[in-house]
Structure 1
Amino acid sequence: MSETDLTRRGFLRSSGLGVMGMYLGNFKPGWLAVPTEYFLYVGTYTSAGGEGIALCRLTMATGALQKVAVTRNVSEPSFLALDHKGRYLYAVNELGSFQGRPSGAVSAFAVNPTTRALTLINQQASLGGAPCFVSVDGNDKFVMVANYSGGNVAVFPIRSDGGLGAPTDTKQFQGSGPHPNQGSPHAHQIQVDAANQYALAADLGTDRVMIYRFDATLGKLNASSQTSFSTKPGAGPRHFAFHPGQRFVFVINELNSTITSLAYDPAQGTLTEVQTVSTLPAGYTGTSYCAEVRVSPDGKFLYGSNRGHNSIVVFAIDSLGKLTLVQHASTQGQWPRDFILDPTGTYLLVANQQSNNIVSLKRDAVTGRLTTTGLSLALTAPTSLLVAPSSV
């Protein structure tokens, strides 16, 4: 890649990264055959010293992590996604300028079925600056991108070779919010529901979760009966996760360190607030900002990351979607930008961006609680974690 004017959208600079498919790459059930190890793709900020997209091994017996390969010459691959069959990987290139345009890019890679090595197929301009999220629709026909500084989302068709075609749709958000980081729209995630019928998009800049009826044939984001859900002013919705049963959506709010539980009607595509809770311990007065949110495979527990407090907050989820605090677990590092659960839910792996390490925490499936394994992998500026396919 020969792009210039790389712009790493670090949160500190601007102020003064679902369901299983979101963090497991939408795997087929046949891939979850209890192997002794899993492999992970790790996105990094190359402007901060990251090498590109790393491939790492997780040993299930101990939780140990090992770097085994790197796909280099990839600029700012800050978020990653796989198609459902694991044949292709998509990475946003979180740039401020691409091919002479005020835009980032999205890159398509072929996955080697034996080595899991990545080969670049092609790239497309993301149609907005600093793209920070990428996802694949339920039919493996379209890729969706959220552009942070561009304040918009875009849809790209997937070609027969896994490459990306010209965009089929884009939606530009409008407005602002009361927080200093909300002077303009900041799209941070776009994801379809399990039925591939509706797409939700989080706009950190305007305190809204947009709702679109998704045309899975043409790749269009059409108007829905409920156009959006509004969080508390200044909350800054960043990411969201669908409950495995599709009855709830959990939104993590970056700017006021809260999680909002929403009842979701998959037939109508509507969101109704159930509860909003703090992600921080009572009495905490330090600076902290939320990043990622995940639901356990059994749908019983919710996890969220606190950058600053440097913790994973754990909640139990009841049948009504209400959350009860279980624990705050240290991430054993600084600025937990992303984390995932392995396919069995045995380990929670945390990418600590500022301390340049990935840490494994052991998870109790009954209580949801996390304990440290004492194991850590040194890796510069990790930003996104994605489980690689066991086979293709």
Structure 2
Amino acid sequence: MSFLVHVSSSESRQIHAFVLDAETGALRSLEVIDVPGSGAPTRGNIPLTWSRDGKVLYAQIRIAPYPLSAFVIDPTSGKLRLLQTVALPAPMAYLSVTRNGRFLLAASYDDALLTVNRLEASGRVSVPGLQTLTTPPKAHCIVEAPFGPFVYATSVDGEAILVYRLNEASGHLEDLAPSTTVTRPHSGPRHLVFHPTLDRLYCVNEHAGSVAAYSVERESGMLKELQYESIVPADFSGRALGADIHLTRDGALLYASVRKTNSISAFHIDPATGALLRAGEFDVEAYPRGFAIEPNGRFLLCAGQQSNHLAVYAIKLATGALSQVGRYPVGMRPSWIEIVPAPAG
């Protein structure tokens, strides 16, 4: 079995596509795609997300007029073809698709807002959008809970995780009371990930360089902090720039990256309680803004935003340890990585 790997690079405005060998972790270059947009390097990153059926990849350039492009995957070759480009109202740091596949959610760090757009059956994005919501400063992530119909978004400088109820028919995000979980001071909540089976949500904090674990109340969507773990050395000072967070599909291991220390921390997850047990810290590519774990949980792929390389690490399932098995050049300032099964053809 093999997987498709797509890595976006903001300064070169490209997506590098590879085929990942699920047995060895080796990558084979498939193609390089230019992302439509202005001639200027895009700010920060080029966020990516797949449609729920894995047929359409979405990418946005964070320079006016903030074009969002939809690419259709060829079912035989696995290569991408541009389907559509539309303008969103702001530069987005994060894109995701709702569980029912009908709506595209986006979070804008620069403009402190969230948006919802309807998705057509073809994968095209309907404009204008259905809804725009203002947030506290620096919205950075927006995801729907796997059990739904709740949507969670982070505000880095607002020190908050916001929660909404998703109207699955209209796509609108409805306010709840209360609708905000205030995080620890100076933490800077950035990215979120849900446990696949437990009512647990994990957050990597940008400012503090930490990971927080929350219980999720399924009826109300409300959060309660259960655990808080640093992922920087005890003598570290300043903003850590915690970045990304992912779990293995079975929920056994959690990984979180820190840009200032060029490292990824690993934790075992208790299968009954969701509690985190530190497994170790591992050196990775310089400035690991984005990484991903392939669906089998055997390999972690990390983009070095300052090294302009993509590294593949084997995961030792018993210990969580990472060991590099490959390293590949990509575009300039790479960050976002998406991994999906390769087409059967």
Q: Give the TM interval when normalised to the shorter protein.
A: over 0.9
TM-score, normalised via structure 1 length: 0.82
CA 1:250–1:61 in structure 2 vs 1: closer, same or farther (change >3 Å)?
same
- Do the aligned partners of 1:313 and 1:328 also contact (CA within 8 Å) in 2? yes
| In 2, Cα distance between equivalents of 1:51 and 1:93 | 8
2:328 pairs with 1:377? yes
TM-score, normalised via structure 2 length: 0.92
2:107 pairs with 1:156? no
Q: How many residues align?
A: 335
How big is the alpha-carbon RMSD for the aligned residues of Structure 1 and Structure 2? 1.7
Residue matched to 2:275: 322
Residue matched to 1:278: 230
Task: Name the SS of the counterpart of 1:234 in structure 2.
Answer: coil
- Do the aligned partners of 2:36 and 2:67 also contact (CA within 8 Å) in 1? no
Shift of residue 54 of structure 1? 1.4
| In 2, Cα distance between equivalents of 1:228 and 1:124 | 31
Residue matched to 1:173: 135
Shift of residue 87 of structure 1? 1.3
2:6 pairs with 1:38? no
Q: Percent identity?
A: 27
2:35 pairs with 1:82? no
2:57 pairs with 1:106? no
Task: Name the SS of the counterpart of 1:131 in structure 2.
Answer: coil
Equivalent position amino acid for 1:162 in 2? G
Shift of residue 284 of structure 1? 3.7
Residue matched to 1:11: none
Equivalent position amino acid for 2:81 in 1? T
Superposition map of 1:294-333 within 5 A? 294-318=246-270, 319-331=272-284, 333=285
| In 1, Cα distance between equivalents of 2:165 and 2:239 | 37
CA 1:157–1:246 in structure 2 vs 1: closer, same or farther (change >3 Å)?
farther
| In 1, Cα distance between equivalents of 2:170 and 2:249 | 32
- Do the aligned partners of 1:235 and 1:258 also contact (CA within 8 Å) in 2? yes
1:161-197 superposed Cα distances (whole Å, 9 cap, x missing partner) = 21111211111114xxxxxxxxxx1111111111330
Equivalent position amino acid for 1:328 in 2? E
Residue matched to 1:131: 92
Shift of residue 256 of structure 1? 1.1
- Do the aligned partners of 1:235 and 1:253 also contact (CA within 8 Å) in 2? yes
- Do the aligned partners of 1:109 and 1:163 also contact (CA within 8 Å) in 2? no
Task: Name the SS of the counterpart of 2:93 in structure 1.
Answer: strand
2:59 pairs with 1:91? yes
Residue matched to 2:16: 54
Equivalent position amino acid for 1:378 in 2? P
- Do the aligned partners of 1:288 and 1:309 also contact (CA within 8 Å) in 2? yes
Superposition map of 1:187-206 within 5 A? 187-206=139-158
Equivalent position amino acid for 2:148 in 1? N
| In 2, Cα distance between equivalents of 1:276 and 1:307 | 19
- Do the aligned partners of 1:200 and 1:211 also contact (CA within 8 Å) in 2? yes
Shift of residue 246 of structure 1? 4.1
- Do the aligned partners of 2:51 and 2:123 also contact (CA within 8 Å) in 1? no
Residue matched to 1:67: 29
| In 2, Cα distance between equivalents of 1:246 and 1:321 | 7
Shift of residue 123 of structure 1? 2.9
- Do the aligned partners of 2:35 and 2:69 also contact (CA within 8 Å) in 1? no
| In 1, Cα distance between equivalents of 2:103 and 2:205 | 27
Q: 2:205 aligns with which of 253, 263, 288?
A: 253
- Do the aligned partners of 1:126 and 1:147 also contact (CA within 8 Å) in 2? no
Shift of residue 287 of structure 1? 6.0
Shift of residue 51 of structure 1? 5.0
- Do the aligned partners of 1:121 and 1:163 also contact (CA within 8 Å) in 2? yes
Equivalent position amino acid for 1:56 in 2? F
Shift of residue 226 of structure 1? 2.9
- Do the aligned partners of 1:105 and 1:131 also contact (CA within 8 Å) in 2? no
CA 1:289–1:387 in structure 2 vs 1: closer, same or farther (change >3 Å)?
same
Residue matched to 2:290: 338
Residue matched to 1:263: 215
1:7-64 superposed Cα distances (whole Å, 9 cap, x missing partner) = xxxxxxxxxxxxxxxxxxxxxxxxxxxx1x322111111xx2x251111122233322
| In 2, Cα distance between equivalents of 1:296 and 1:160 | 30
